Amino acid sequence: MAACRRVQRVLLLMFLSGWICCAYGGKSQTLDDDNVMDNVERRKNQGGEGKAPADAASDTIRRRGAWKLAEEAACREDVIRICPKHSWNNNLAVLECLQDPKDETEIAGECNHLLWNYKFNLTKDPKFETVASEVCKSTISEIKECATVERGKGYLVSCLVEHRSNISEYQCNQYVTKMTSIIYSDFRLICGFMENCKDDINTLHCGSINLGEKDIHSQGEVIACLEKGLVSEAEEQPGQYTIKEECKKAIMRVAELSSDDFHLDRHLYFACREDRERFCENTPAGEGKVYKCLFNHKFEESMSDKCKDALSTRQKLIAQDYKVSYTLAKACKPDLRKFRCNMDAAMPRAREAKLSYLLLCLESAVHRGQTVSGECQGEMLDYRRMLMEDFSLSPEIVLHCRNEIDTHCSGLHHKGRTLHCLMRMSRDKGIFEGHCQKALQTLIQETDPGADYRIDRALNEACESVIQTACKHIRNGDPMILSCLMEHLYTDKMVEGCEQRLLELQYFISRDWKLDPILYKKCQNDAARICHTRGWNETSEFMPPGAVFSCLYRHAYRTEMQGRRGASESSDVNTKVSASLSRDCKTEVQRILHQRALDVKLDPELQQRCMTDLGKWCSEKTDTGQELECLQDHLEDLVPNCRDVVGNLTELESEDIQIEALLIRACEPVIQSYCHEVADNQIDTGDLMDCLVANKNQKEMNEKCVVGVTHFQLIQMKDFRFSYKFKMACKEDVLKLCPNIKKKVDVVICLSTTVRNDTLQEVKDQRVSLKCRKQLRVEELEMSEDIRLEPDLYESCRQDIKQHCQNVVFGNAQVIECLKENKKVLHPHCHQKVFKLQETEMMDPELDFQLMRVCKQMIRRFCTETDSKNILQCLKQNKNSELMDPKCKQMITKRQITQNTDYRLNPVLRKSCKADIPKFCQSILNKATDDNELEGEVISCLKLKYADQRLSPDCEDQIRVILQESALDYRLDPQLQLQCSDEIPRLCAEEVAAQEQTGQVEECLKFNLLKIKHEGCKKEVLNILKESKADIFVDPVLHTACALDIKHQCAAIPPGRGRQMSCLMEALQDKRVRLQPECKKRLQDRIDMWSFAAKVAPAEGFSDLAGQVFTSPAKTYILSMLAMSVVLLFLMGLLCGRITKRVTQELKDR
């Protein structure tokens, strides 16, 4: 039978006599010692081997009766020296004492020789089987294999040894245990071992098989040497020798049969005796308990090196055959049978026996939701931890990672540190190829640390403090611990060592979706349906790392067929199958994506496709999150494959900004204050980012959050698809109206131009859809906040920004405002862009970010019902209200100054004076350029025509408003400022310094008209005087002084065209009317000024003269006199004509 080939029958009558004596309480022995000795002598003669040295004294002892091993001359001194006296009469006790001394005491060679020959020859006697049949009678009947064995050849004892774990009878168990210890004391007593391994022993120089050449201690060394040779062969170490298959089986069988009691592994027993006393003193022998205890203390500093070496060899044998572990084989035997883990006909027997195969098979059952016994799972956990602690237990790691270990990871202690060093090397290289990386990935799958972080001792030790603080609410060993650690990555609670170990492990977990047990549990059905995955322990060599998770997250965010880049090319997506994920799977995919987005190395597809670009553009960007930001910044420069994957990820971020975990952490205060409702939504769809952008300038906003939000806005400008809401609202419009346009800013310009043209042409059906127009408005408003969001403007003005606005921070449109204030000194190209921007803002004040921000409250107060296009007009009308905020008033004035520099910046004036401007100011238009201000020349031209009362009513109304505004503030008259730039500070410094302008500077210039030297300035002041004659409202000082008199004297007279001014002049001349002293004084001053103006600037032509007459306060008188003169001349003409006619007739008559 098979047992015959495994264990030699042991028929040791010395053992029997001692054992039976003990078992039956000292009764007479069942076998006569004389007969025994006779049998021994007969055996010697028959075998012709092993002549034991026996002197005369020993022969006498034998003949006298009971033979005592302690009385043999060869061993007497050793027995007295080593063994306690009470054991001398018990041959078994003496044998155990000499065989297993408690210290390193040497035994005489003759004694060793005697013991060896004695045991070896006694193994031939079938009488030992008879005793076994008596002692183990009930046990034999219970064990079917032993009940049917052929008797008389020693097979029965072999069978009992093999099934000793099933023996419950005390006496039989004691018998077999003692017998086993004798067998394993010398490899030559093991059935077939010497025959099967003779050549291998000699080749490997493991010792001699000749009798007597090695003492009892060295016999275990022979097996240990063969075991190391077997391990070296598995690791393919240089110069290794291939052991014969028969010897391999014999070695593994010996290791298996010695797995329950560490005494049976002679080499390990002697190597670890002291360590056993130190670490496992209270651990009873048997059932593999001492092995397990020593394994647990293997990396203790006080553990001896020889014991560590012996333990490692034992563990490596377990890795090759799980049966070498008694506890694992026993605990998992039912589960292995239940899940058919050792019945795969297609799998070689050696592969089935490997520990890795057992772990994968049982872990697969666990992940499928099937029940594996708790005892077996506990054993699996121990051995998974063992593999993670010591890389040398995995032959593939030793074989394929030898160079990496020698170069980068040598000298490290175990406890998983060497393995983590290799993991770090793979992560830093970023290339998941080669045998070493594959071996590491295989080991991570076998040990499955994602299911229980405690399996990874290096991670467990490094992260203990973090787990105790940040993850203490999670049950110890729960898979969510790793998720919790990832959520606290790069936070204050994370420590550097834990961060490194965590990322090293996650690098490999991210490359095989099955290694995240929560993800696998919730998504295995979806993955099989959509991504065509296989079982947990089945991996396709053709599927690239991370491909399944990429497939899952693409479908998790595909709310509809969006046509993302690369989707049609993906081989793992079957478009004919429903692409929707279950809610639990989608939630889990989003959770993992949020965590892994912190590091590009945790995205295998991204790292693989972008390896070249990362080295080219981002070699210096190594801080957290910088690599992805760098790739996004260089999107246009990336190779196509990399650009596609970065673009896809950026699209996902626009839909779910929580993927940007660092940004979300930085913006936590703002989110809690303003965006908590959208943040709590399970589905984001871009709402959270919109909220952050809208509240970017709140006081709770910190610098990191502002930078992060702005960066994402800048990235969005590279492709309109990076703005989720804009893409969803306008994708059809873009395809129809703006094909082949990619950049968001260009798409916005294209669509907004279309909207504007349709509006101006009053098209009934707008070409841009309503939902797109609404979202387009949002995008335009967002772009106005930061000049960097308008790339064309930013690039054109980059040099001017450095020169004039270097200390101005971006955001809040501050840089744009700085450029506006320095517009006169900008480079031409930048100046043109700023002018165009201002033109757009004046047409649509909502795009004027600074105006809308500063005047936000005033708009709510005064302009709630005003159309967005007329907000600035509304604010101007309420500018002088007592309720107007000073800062807003100042901003309104700035915009008025800007508007008055060029009629094109005043849309209302431009529309109202559409016909008047080319009619009266064509000469100015002829020399104008499209992108440069006219410095108020057109408006000045219209002012003069207003004084001449030649404008159309609508245009006249707008010019009157401008005149009234500029009369209060000289800064609103660009020509006055330009021409009087030297005179104003010289003559009116005090008035200029006034906190609020109410016409003081203009009044000062009027009174100092004679002191003005610059002709251009003098002309502008005279024009002001001329304009004031046309309407009292454009003279705020006079109007204020005469307001009461106008009310009493001119209430019935409508304003405009100089009518109220004429009324006041007539009242001044009427002695019956008493005007207010201040009004009277101001009127007299104006008359003097006008008289002086008339002298200084006489009419230049008939039209000018007519204008002066019509604008004169004495217009009625002048016109009356002119009419009388014309009538008088007509009468005189008639009279003279008759006289001349009579004279001529008389002359004819003559």
Q: What is the DSSP letter of 623?
A: S
- Cβ-proximal residues to 25 (8 Å cutoff; 6+ apart), any chain: none
**131 alpha-carbon distance from chain centroid:** 73
Helix (H) or strand (E) holding 62: helix 56-64
Residue with tokens 């077939």: 192
Q: Contact, 474 vs 480, CB < 8 A?
A: yes
pLDDT of residue 1035: 83
Q: Contact, 519 vs 588, CB < 8 A?
A: yes
Residue with tokens 């670890």: 272
C-alpha pair distances (Å), 208 with each of 199, 250, 258, 1116: 11, 18, 22, 146
Amino acid at 202: N
pLDDT of residue 420: 93
The structure's pTM equals 0.73
Q: To the nearest 10°, report the CA torsion of 262, 265, 270, 276.
A: -20
Among candidates 289, 19, 49, which has minimal Cα distance to 179?
19
Q: Is 221 exposed, middle or buried (0-12, 13-18, 19+ CB in 10 A)?
A: middle
Q: What is the DSSP string of 472-512?
A: TTSPTT-THHHHHHHHTTTSTT--HHHHHHHHHHHHHHTT-
Cα–Cα distance, 1145 to 1142 (Å, whole number): 5
Q: Which two three-digit tokens encode residue 841?
A: 């803002």
Q: Is 1054 exposed, middle or buried (0-12, 13-18, 19+ CB in 10 A)?
A: exposed
Q: Which residues of the chain have pLDDT under 50?
A: 1-65, 123, 208-217, 345-349, 432, 560-577
Query: What confidence tens digit (pLDDT) does each residue in 528-586 have?
Result: 999 888 777 776 666 788 889 988 988 887 654 344 444 433 444 344 345 688 989 99
Q: Is the dihedral of CA 109, 110, 116, 119 positive or negative?
A: negative
pLDDT of residue 50: 38
Q: Contact, 524 vs 518, CB < 8 A?
A: no
pLDDT of residue 234: 85
* Helix ranges restricted to H, 597-702: 604-609, 611-617, 626-633, 640-655, 661-666, 668-670, 676-679, 687-694
Residue with tokens 């509809």: 560
Q: Is 54 exposed, middle or buried (0-12, 13-18, 19+ CB in 10 A)?
A: middle
What is the per-residue burial (b if ≥16 Cβ within 10 Å, else e) of 284-300? Answer: ebeebbbbbbbbebbee
**Region of residue 936 (left: phi > 0; alpha: psi -120 to 50; beta: else):** left
pLDDT of residue 541: 60
Cα–Cα distance, 446 to 437 (Å, whole number): 14
List phi, psi (to 5°) of 982: -90, -35
pLDDT of residue 1072: 85
Among candidates 533, 521, 530, which has minimal Cα distance to 587?
521
Q: Is the dihedral of CA 629, 634, 639, 640 positive or negative?
A: positive
